[in-house]
Structure 1
Amino acid sequence: MQPEHKTPAHKTIVVTGGSTGIGAAICHAFLDAGYEVVNLARRPLALDHTRLHNIELDLSDRAATAAVAQQVAREHEVTSLVHNAGLIRPNLLPEVKLEDYDYLSQVHIGAAITLSQAFLPGMQARQFGRIILITSRAALGLQTRTSYSATKSGMMGMARTWALELGEFGITVNTVAPGPISATEMFHEVIPEDSPKLDSMARSIPVRRLGVPGDVARAVSFFNDPDNGFVTGQTLMVCGGASLGSLSL
């Protein structure tokens, strides 16, 4: 006979980089669902909401990230971490700078480790937790993305490792890998909003459109759901089918 499944109390979700684009859509979705949301970002999410807590933080600062992580763990019952913050630093191989790789490693991987370590004791004590890392379709390879794809693919391997280590505590660890998502600062830093490349890129995607932040937020909500505890160590490509073949910028 299977043991009775009890849905645990799901309190507070920490979102990194929740001020614009995908991160803002994730914060809005969680607030609409009734959660407390702590946004860790370099600038606040422009929203007046009683359950939203903005904390300004540069995740490239290792010491500041550790201090804020401990502060949040003391002040909130964190049951979910969504590590969304990221940046690209694109360059073809001859121009790749190792300092860019170091910077992206800290923001994408180092910060995820520090934050997870701070929230892990509370999750283990409650025998419940959700860790969701936002990686990228570019982890499969994309021109000019040496540092970005290396660190984003590293997040996938890290999530699979954590899933093995934490499953016995009721903690799932998954990744969401967006493809081309329009209406985000990071995307339009590479391809301007008025560029003719937008139409040609959309035509190259099997679903014939670019993604929007809400597409990613819905995938994150699936992994965050307390009833979805039998899915862990997985990567969900939210890319309109772009991961099925090559993608040209």
Structure 2
Amino acid sequence: MQPRVLVTGASSGIGLAVAERLVADGYAVTSFDVQAPARDVAGVAHVQVDLRDAAQTREAVAELVRAGEVLRLVNNAGIVQPASVADTTPESLQAVAALNVQAPLLLLQGLLPDMQARGFGRVVNVSSRAALGKPLRTAYAASKAGLLGMTRSWALELAAHGITVNAIGPGPIATELFQRVNPPGAPQTQRILDTIPLARMGEPAEVAHAIASLLDDRAGFITGQVLYVCGGMTVGLGNAA
């Protein structure tokens, strides 16, 4: 029987690349997303659910586990509401946190009994390089930094049950959404490229590869860690004058 994995936000972008990679690796993938998939992928079951809604989220994950155990979770879904610190509202902070922080907690709670019973689990939370700080990202950076704090706390709490919890911090990734906002050749796109030591954008498949490696059975001695898939941006510009 194929091992099952839950991936949130797998209808497009990084999440879709993750789903495709995991199917290729032999997993049966379920996607929780409020949007319809950009394309159908054999082996991926799409469940439409608004993960900002706590009741919907709890019911969706309960229905999932009624069909069989799910021992792997990728919390990828997220939203950004850019605003200056002066313009960030409590409502915006709450809306971003509902998806970026609350939903990962509720989903893990729903899957946790089976993971603990098995003495095995893999959780990968998709944070962001913005957790280190980025202008106009007060709510988003706070939520992604919070997700890193939860990652480390969960890793410590769940290690005795054979459950590992890690995080990925993507840098600029060439998703369709990113390229719509930052077209190839545009001045703002070049400014971004100038900050990346590898001098290119990352590909969704490269983030998917990092996530897949942390979900593997053989990754059992890695927990509480953050892996930045950022082309070296978190290190700094090593070739800067």
TM-score (norm 2): 0.93
What amino acid is the match of 2:107?
A: L
CA contact (8 A) 2:197 2:236 kept: no
C-alpha distance in structure 2 between counterparts of 1:79 and 1:60, whole Å: 22
| Structure 2 gap segments, 5+ residues each | none
TM-score (norm 1): 0.90
What amino acid is the match of 2:189?
A: L
Return the offset for 1:191: 3.2
1:79 equivalent in structure 2: 71
C-alpha change, 1:48 and 1:189, in structure 2 (3 Å) is closer
CA contact (8 A) 2:83 2:138 kept: yes
1:213 equivalent in structure 2: 204
Return the offset for 1:53: 1.0
Give the alignment of 1:179-218 within 5 angstroms: 179-185=171-177, 187-188=178-179, 190-192=181-183, 195-218=186-209
C-alpha distance in structure 2 between counterparts of 1:55 and 1:15, whole Å: 10
Q: What is the aligned counterpart of 1:109 among 101, 104, 126?
A: 101
Return the offset for 1:118: 0.5
1:28 equivalent in structure 2: 20
Q: For each residue in 1:186-225, what CA deviation from the matched residue of structure 2 results, as whole angstroms up to 9, or x when unmatched?
A: x346535563211221122111011111111011011101
Aligned residues: 236
Q: What is the aligned counterpart of 2:141 among 132, 135, 149?
A: 149
2:217 equivalent in structure 1: 226
C-alpha distance in structure 2 between counterparts of 1:225 and 1:53, whole Å: 21
C-alpha change, 1:119 and 1:217, in structure 2 (3 Å) is same
Give the alignment of 1:1-249 within 5 angstroms: 11-45=3-37, 46-49=39-42, 51-185=43-177, 187-188=178-179, 190-192=181-183, 195-245=186-236
- Secondary structure of the 1:217 match is helix
CA contact (8 A) 1:19 1:44 kept: yes
CA contact (8 A) 1:22 1:184 kept: no
| Structure 1 gap segments, 5+ residues each | 1-8
CA contact (8 A) 2:2 2:26 kept: no
Return the offset for 1:97: 1.5
Q: For each residue in 1:113-152, what CA deviation from the matched residue of structure 2 results, as whole angstroms up to 9, or x when unmatched?
A: 1100000000111111001000000000000010000000
Runs of 4 or more, structure 1, over 4 Å off, are: none
CA contact (8 A) 2:202 2:230 kept: yes
